């Protein structure tokens, strides 16, 4: 049309000031343009929203290997503690000193003085009144080994943690985890002495053999299992790369199934502390029935009824049987369900290992019961609970989600 001005070409001309201001506003104040003659399309940078965030520093693999070594040390302490309990050695050292007791008695006079201290407490008066000095040395060294190993575990956590912290190898979230683990190690030592004290107390109204409180024993074992699980999980998370798994509905169900099975395995291991604390493995040495019955008559002999779950040896053994059978059933069902899903080779190995360890653990438990709890077999059964928990944690680590 004759009366209308045609728009100027932008081939060799810069944009008008008004257009330039509008484009800069749209681009967050930082728009740039191609050279004249190419295009008018701006190359927009994202708007500035403060200084750029630095990515979290990667934790070196050495930290993961350290945590795996620490979990192994904790496992050794749990196994040694179980043997100490099975040999009835836990009450042989009647006092607790962080540094002083690290030096064992050496002369005959020192050993006799230590033996005389032990003779003042209920275990000697009621159970071991005919014990010789040589027999006392054996149980004393058992408890001494357990306590010294506990100190080694504490140093294995605290000293490397201080070194890694000073080197700057720990990210901010990892610092929180490491502090929690070191705090739990210290708490574990105090809880161990609190447990031993319960077996040294005089109980005039009780005719039972002296033993530590099953509640404190369960707390001591439970905190050790938490420390072990947290260390192992964190170490595996740092060392094993996550799989690029397709987030299907079946995979989500498998992941939830694995979490529930691991919780059941943990609960079964914890119930073993009540079995050990009450010597409940000695009341019914038959399987699958308890004596001549599926459900024994004295299952709820205590009043109120809730006491039976934690204080009645018959009920405690019955509960441990039920939890053990439920655990191996859950693991078997988990394995069969996993066969329907395409999984990486390493994940498939974790599922298969979990199934194998579960059935070995059940066979060990039944054999321990039928053979009247021999110490080597019972100690192997207790160690098997850690192996089973480890396999479950490994599977959970394999099934982790890849962060978006």
pLDDT confidence of residue 58 = 75
Under 8 Å between Cβ of 214 and 267 = no
- Note every long-range contact of 341-344, with CB atoms under 8 Å and residues 24 or more positions apart, other chains counting: 341/248, 341/250, 341/251, 341/254, 343/245, 344/243, 344/245, 344/398
Segments in the chain below pLDDT 70: 1-57, 204-207, 402-404
DSSP 235-274: HHHHHSPPP-----HHHHHHHHHHHHHHHHHHHHHHHHHH
Total-model pTM: 0.83
Token digits for 212?
């530590």
Nearest to 235 by CA among 75, 377, 54: 75
pLDDT confidence of residue 206 = 62
The span from the CA of 392 to the CA of 143, in Å, is 31
Domain ranges of the chain: 58-202+209-239, 241-403
Give residue-wise pLDDT tens across range 5-23: 444 444 444 444 444 444 3
Under 8 Å between Cβ of 95 and 113 = no
Looking up tokens 């799989």 gives 243
Under 8 Å between Cβ of 43 and 25 = no
Q: Which whole-number Å values give the CA distances from 339 to 186, 265, 290, 315, 348, in the listed order?
A: 43, 21, 35, 36, 9
Kindly report the average pLDDT of the chain as a whole number. Answer: 86
Helical pair 249-277 and 313-338, crossing angle rounded to 10 deg: 160
**DSSP H or E run through 64:** helix 61-86
Q: How many CB atoms lie within 10 A of CB 370?
A: 12
Report how far Cα 365 is from the mean position of its chain's Cα atoms.
Answer: 21
Give residue-wise pLDDT tens across range 72-88: 999 999 999 999 999 99
Q: Which residues pair with 293 in a beta bridge?
A: 290
Report how far Cα 323 is from the mean position of its chain's Cα atoms.
Answer: 19
pLDDT confidence of residue 38 = 43
């Amino acid at each position: 049309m004759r009366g209308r001005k045609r728009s100027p070409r932008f081939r060799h001309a810069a944009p008008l000031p008004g257009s330039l201001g509008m484009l800069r506003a749209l681009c967050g104040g930082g728009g740039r343009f191609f050279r004249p003659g190419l295009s008018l399309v701006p190359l927009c940078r994202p708007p500035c929203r403060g200084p750029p965030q630095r990515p979290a520093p990667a934790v070196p693999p050495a930290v993961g290997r350290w945590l795996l070594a620490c979990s192994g040390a904790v496992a050794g302490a749990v196994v040694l503690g179980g043997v100490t309990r099975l040999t009835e050695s836990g009450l042989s050292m009647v006092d607790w000193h962080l540094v002083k007791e690290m030096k064992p008695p050496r002369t005959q006079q020192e050993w006799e003085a230590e033996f005389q201290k032990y003779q003042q407490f209920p275990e000697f008066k009621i159970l071991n009144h005919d014990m010789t000095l040589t027999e006392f040395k054996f149980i004393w060294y058992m408890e001494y080994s357990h306590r010294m190993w506990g100190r080694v575990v504490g140093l294995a956590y605290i000293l490397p943690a201080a070194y890694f912290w000073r080197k700057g190898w720990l990210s901010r979230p990892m610092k929180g985890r490491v502090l929690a683990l070191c705090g739990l190690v210290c708490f574990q030592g105090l809880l161990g002495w609190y447990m031993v004290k319960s077996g040294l107390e005089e109980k005039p109204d009780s005719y039972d053999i002296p033993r530590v409180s099953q509640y404190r024993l369960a707390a001591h074992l439970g905190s050790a299992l938490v420390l072990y699980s947290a260390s192992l999980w964190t170490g595996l998370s740092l060392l094993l790369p996550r799989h690029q798994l397709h987030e299907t509905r079946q995979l989500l169900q498998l992941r939830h199934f694995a979490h529930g099975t691991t919780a059941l395995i943990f609960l079964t291991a914890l119930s073993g502390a009540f079995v050990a604390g009450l010597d409940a493995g000695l009341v019914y040495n038959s399987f699958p029935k308890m004596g001549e019955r599926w459900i024994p008559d004295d299952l709820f002999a205590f009043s109120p009824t809730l006491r039976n779950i934690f204080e009645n040896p018959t009920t405690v053994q019955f509960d441990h049987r039920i939890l053990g059978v439920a655990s191996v059933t859950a693991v078997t069902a988990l394995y069969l369900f996993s066969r329907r899903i395409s999984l990486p080779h390493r994940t498939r190995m974790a599922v298969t290992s979990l199934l194998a360890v579960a059935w070995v653990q059940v066979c060990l438990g039944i054999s321990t019961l039928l053979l009247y709890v021999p110490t080597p077999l019972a100690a192997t059964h207790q160690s098997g609970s850690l192996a089973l928990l480890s396999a479950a944690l490994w599977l959970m680590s394999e099934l982790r989600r890849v962060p978006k």
